[in-house]
Structures are given as C-alpha cells and as structure tokens.
C-alpha cells in the first residue's frame, strides 16, 4: 500500500510516496469493474484535408512477439495504424509515465500488423502494445 508523506529538508519541502511493508495487511478496497461505454456513431465530415481521421483502435490479441510496454503509464497517442510501414526507431506511440511523455519507437523496420492498446488506456510493464512483421 502506497502512503504519501510531506517532508522538509533544509527548508525545502518534498512529497514522497512510500510502500508500507511488514505491517498488518490492509484489505484492498474492491475496484468497480469497468463498464463498456457505447457511443452513437458519428458521421464523418469532409474538410479541405479530406475525410475525418479515425482514431486507431485495438485490433487483435497480442502474440508472443509483440512489442511490450517498457514502464507503467498511460497511452496518450497512437501515431500509426495497422498496415502502416514503419522504419527502425520511428515513434509509434506516446506513453505518459510519471508526468513525462515518452516516445515508444519501432524496434525494427516493418509493417504494423496489430495494435493491442487504445488511446487513454493504462498499461503495465511487459503488457503488449503493438506487433510488427
């Protein structure tokens, strides 16, 4: 269980989070199950740039060779779609972790064959993000 403390060192205040270990275990508060939200379809509108862009969505279940999240965080933006050609070290998504935006880059050149997360989704280290061929 994480606990927050405010400490002062030489007049400078710091906010510190610490994990309590060795104490009496506290029962975890049950988290409500996420509910599926259905949105009505939105008609695509035309603009000078062309039809409205559609946000990428999670496509297929991840295979064992999928690229995984390097750290816990939230997916801020997905920069590619399934079928896109990518180059090695090309940014494919933005992951926010500890209030910093981190680029997740392609490990090799190839084609995006699957996106396994959605924008706004929280991920843990080792969770599948995207698959390349």
pLDDT of the residue at 13: 85
**17 to 9, 53, 107: CA distances (angstroms):** 16, 40, 33
51 DSSP assignment: E
Q: Over the stretch 83-93, which tens digit does the pLDDT of each residue have?
A: 999 998 999 99
Q: Over the stretch 71-129, which tens digit does the pLDDT of each residue have?
A: 899 999 999 999 999 998 999 999 998 888 988 898 889 999 889 999 999 999 888 88
Higher pLDDT, 82 or 27: 82
Return the residue matching tokens 């190839």.
110
pLDDT of the residue at 93: 92
CATH for 56-132 is 2.40.50.100
Ramachandran assignment for 83, one of left (phi > 0), alpha (psi -120 to 50 degrees), beta (any other): left
């Amino acid at each position: 269980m994480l606990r927050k403390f405010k400490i002062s060192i030489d007049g400078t205040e710091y906010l510190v989070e610490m994990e309590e270990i060795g104490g009496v275990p506290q029962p975890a508060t049950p988290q409500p199950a996420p509910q599926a939200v259905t949105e009505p379809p939105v008609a695509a509108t035309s603009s000078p740039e062309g039809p409205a862009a559609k946000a990428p969505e999670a496509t297929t279940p991840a295979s064992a060779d999928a690229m995984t999240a390097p750290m816990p965080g939230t997916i801020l933006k997905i920069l590619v779609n399934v079928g896109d050609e990518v180059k090695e070290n090309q940014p494919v998504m933005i992951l926010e972790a500890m209030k910093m935006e981190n680029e997740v880059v392609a490990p090799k050149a190839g084609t995006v064959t699957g996106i396994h997360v959605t924008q706004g989704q929280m991920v843990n280290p080792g969770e599948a993000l995207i698959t390349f061929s």
